[in-house]
Amino acid sequence: MLVSDFHYDLPEDLIAQHPPAVRGASRMMTLDRRTGAFTDRLFIDLPQLLRPGDLLILNDTRVLPARLYATRAGLATQPKSPTPTGQIEVLLTQRLANSEARNDWSALVKPAKKVQPGETLHFADSALTAQILSAGDHGERTLRFAPTENFYAALNRIGHLPLPPYIHRPKSQPNTPEDRARYQTVFAREQGSAAAPTAGLHFTPEVLEALTARGIEIAYLTLHVGLGTFQPVRVERTEDIRLHAEPYTLSAATAEAINKAIREKRRIFAVGTTTTRTLEHIARTQTNIAAHSGTTSLFLSPGPHADQSHEFKIVQGLLTNFHLPQSTLLMLVSAFADREHTLAAYAHAVAARYRFFSYGDCMLIT
């Protein structure tokens, strides 16, 4: 299939620039993936739309303040604050597996031409420094940070949450206090993600309590969102798409919850495309689902594919936000719900003025 087969027209004013005033006060479309029928609801209706006994799985990754600003070593003026003023922008996308004595990261750097292997970057009065180890395509760089007493404390002090480029903020204030609070799920625990699992942003403690009270089982896994979220699709055919690998962890408790739900023929719902990819990767790589950690680069799309990725083996329901045209996330949703059904639902969402993307409304697909 062609990437252009997943295009739709979206007025720019429907791209949500801020979350709703109250967390959870979002609209929610329901979509029957068998018939294509859809209805307009609210997210707070979710507990009543699920059945007692359903298993709901969420991604508990925590977003790092992974956008940093630096100057190159040797310049007369080093950055004295974490605000960008014509500096080098560095987006950390994934910590690399290596010895404990090292702190290496993959990153996107711009302007990339100014930053080459061997150079050293200084961040915010040299609170952190990093050497460029290697360069890749499209601004990709590998950085090694100098040893510091508490790297994550420094990162939290000088870094900014990596809001997507379609959310516009003044350069002098990459994040607002609202972003710090709301571009993070209420159940975020495991630090390491370069972007939020945005379907989870709608949940409140009250909704989680209502789900439990209705008899819906809740479990968590961790997938740290990495480089693939920030790189656009650069090929014409979906068969040529290759995703970057992202690390995940499945706990013993969640593995047992999945196995038990499968044995008892109860429905399993994924909250978000990150959870969906992780579960479907596990289904393809483990005969008996057990606790483990690994990485996944699984690409889920409609139609015949080398991985037979149009066949879903665990996920029977999906809660997801509305995604960018021609994105791999929209392709995943189209694989689950049928491309024609999905694009028809998106056309309705545009006409009904739903809010789109990370801070926008959501869709429940059953």
Give the position of tokens 């480029």.
165
Domains in the chain (CATH in brackets) are 3-63+180-365 (3.40.1780.10), 67-159 (2.40.10.240)
pLDDT of residue 102: 87
pLDDT of residue 72: 87
Cβ–Cβ under 8 Å, residues 143 and 130: yes
Pairwise CA distance, residues 44 & 348, whole Å: 21
Q: What does each C-alpha distance from 104 to 89, 97, 99, 125, 173 come to in angstroms? A: 17, 8, 9, 21, 27
Polymer length of the chain: 366
pLDDT of residue 308: 42
Helix axes 328-337, 339-351, angle to 10 degrees: 110
Evaluate if residue 204 carries a pLDDT over 70.
Answer: yes
Evaluate if residue 74 carries a pLDDT over 70.
Answer: no
pTM: 0.91
pLDDT per residue as tens digits for the range 236-281 = 999 999 998 999 999 999 999 999 999 999 999 999 999 999 999 9
Lowest-confidence region among 77-91, 264-278, 292-306: 77-91
Q: Mean pLDDT across the stretch 164-171?
A: 92
Give the position of tokens 């100057």.
71
